[in-house]
């Protein structure tokens, strides 16, 4: 299975006043991706400054397209994409 790992970093020290509203929308998008079967895993980063997402059976270009629709994308300070091949 081909996977794309995305590491999203946000500026947790400068969150907007409407962060809770953005978080709710974020959770809705994530749930939709999971239901559609394109999101395999979501890990929150220990420092609470972002997340690691593992997409399955999509291209890096499609992952980039999806990430741009994520509400937290507007809060990003950095984003990295890695193509992976699952071994087990």
pLDDT grade for 88, boundaries at 50, 70 and 90:
confident
10 Cβ neighbours under 8 A, 6+ residues apart? 49, 50, 72, 75, 76, 77
Distance CA 71, CA 69 (A): 6
CATH for 20: 3.30.70.1060
- 10 in Cβ contact with 72 (< 8 Å): yes
Residue 87 above 90 pLDDT? no
| Residue 24 confidence (pLDDT) | 97
Number of domains in the chain: 1
Distance CA 60, CA 48 (A): 25
pLDDT digits (tens, 9 = 90+) for 18-71: 999 999 999 999 999 999 999 999 999 998 899 999 999 999 999 999 999 999
Distance CA 71, CA 75 (A): 8
Residue 34, domain extent: 2-85
């Amino acid at each position: 299975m081909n996977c794309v790992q995305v590491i999203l970093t946000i500026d947790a020290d400068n969150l907007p006043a409407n962060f809770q509203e953005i978080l709710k929308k974020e959770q809705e998008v994530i749930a939709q991706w999971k239901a559609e079967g394109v999101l395999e895993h979501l890990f929150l980063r220990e420092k609470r400054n972002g997340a690691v997402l593992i997409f399955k059976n999509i291209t890096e270009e499609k992952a980039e397209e999806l990430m741009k629709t994520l509400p937290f994308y507007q809060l990003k300070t950095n984003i990295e994409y890695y193509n992976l091949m699952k071994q087990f």
